[in-house]
Amino acid sequence: MSVFSNRNFDQHENVVFHECRASGLKAIIAIHDSRLGPAMGGCRMFPYSSDEAAINDVLRLSQGMTYKNALAGLAIGGGKAVIIGNPREATAATWGAMGDFVQSLSGRYITAEDSGTSVSAMQLIAQRTPYVTGVSSTQAHQGDPSPSTAKGVYFAMKESVRVRYGQNHLSGLTVGIQGFGNVGRHLCKLLIEAGVSVFGADPNQDNADSARALGAKIVDPGLLMTLPMDVFAPCAMGAILNSDTVAKLQTGLVCGAANNQLATPDVELELMKREILYAPDFAVNSGGIIDAFSQYSPTANINVEQQIAEISNTLAAVFDYANANGVTAGSAAVKLAKLRVENGLTPEKSLLSA
């Protein structure tokens, strides 16, 4: 099947395939839109069931990065890389070959850590190309943007709770977290410190044990989405919200770190019918890319903490527009993102008047 006829193709500027016989690397880099600057986005490694599944993922993820970066007010475009394979089988040769692949694009794409990759992997990539971020030894977490992603989700959750439940704090709420990896674990800690009752699931026993040590209750992954909770926070892989799972949800709010949480955009309409508010993932989880951009472009003088806190205000504008115009929050977020791309990040007078 041609990439051009793929349902997820959205006038992407570049979709580049690469195979390195020596290392066994099979990877795809997609650049969706570079009007705001060179594309930046994470490098994901996953044992995709097929090449088509990998193509679908990289197309959707790179589009999401365009929207995410624009909503975060960053002068960078949207791109993404996926590596087809098991992260546990990756070697130094894998990351070196990936660095060569990134380098071959001459700076049009800047890579970073994502699901299935790590700071150490980025450091190996950085030995072959300068077009990588999240490797700064002077950053608070040695380059790891995950804590910043979690912090952004935390601020977004507070705003979403204000809109959905009419309260300005999270204390006393129950949050179910799907996935206690780097971001989910940090989010768990922030929520528990805020007086939230947290439960969740992760098939990785080490991740589950880490969350349990923080005070979270661990439940069966198959039961998680069927349990009553105030907020469901997906923090693992995407496309977990579909007709079947939405029908089982017992919550009034979905707000989490995972990318592409909706299997298809129309799933949000099903959430609306059930009076479940959806906080668009690309508006919620931009804390990490804000951190990564700051590391890559220190001369941009980004105030990371301040810009992460701004996620709340951006999300408030999205919810206001959606409510005033009777559209989904996802549609409102895309509209705002496209306005920022088309106008070169010039602050819009108001999304409500757009």
Q: Mind telling me the catalytic residues?
A: 80
Strand partners for 82: 28, 44
Supply the Cα-derived Rg of the chain in whole angstroms. Answer: 19
**143 among annotated binding-site residues:** no
- Residue 4 has a CB neighbour count (10 Å cut-off) of 9
**Residue 184 assigned ligand-binding role:** yes
Judge whether 81 and 28 are in contact, CB under 8 Å: yes
179 Rama sector, left if φ>0, alpha if ψ -120 to 50, beta otherwise? left
The set of residues, in sequence order, having a beta carbon less than 8 Å from that of 174 and lying 6+ positions away, is 196, 197, 198, 199, 228, 229, 230, 231
Q: Nearest Cα to 57, choosing from 259, 234, 243, 330?
A: 259
User: Is 41 flagged in the annotation as binding?
Assistant: no
180, 266, 284, 332 from 254: Cα distances, Å: 16, 15, 11, 16
What is the distance between the alpha carbons of residues 311 and 41, in angstroms, rounded to a whole number? Answer: 18
Task: Dig out the tokens for 164 from the structure.
Answer: 């959905």
Q: Is 181 annotated as a binding residue?
A: yes
180 is in an annotated binding site: yes
Q: Return the ∠ at Cα 159 (arms to 246 and 75), rounded to 5°.
A: 100
9 is in an annotated binding site: no
Output the 3-class SS for 157-189.
Answer: HHHHHHHHHCCCCCCCCEEEEECCCHHHHHHHH
d(CA 288, CA 152): 8
Which residue numbers belong to the known binding site for NAD(+)?
179-184
Q: Which residues are annotated as a binding site?
A: 179-184
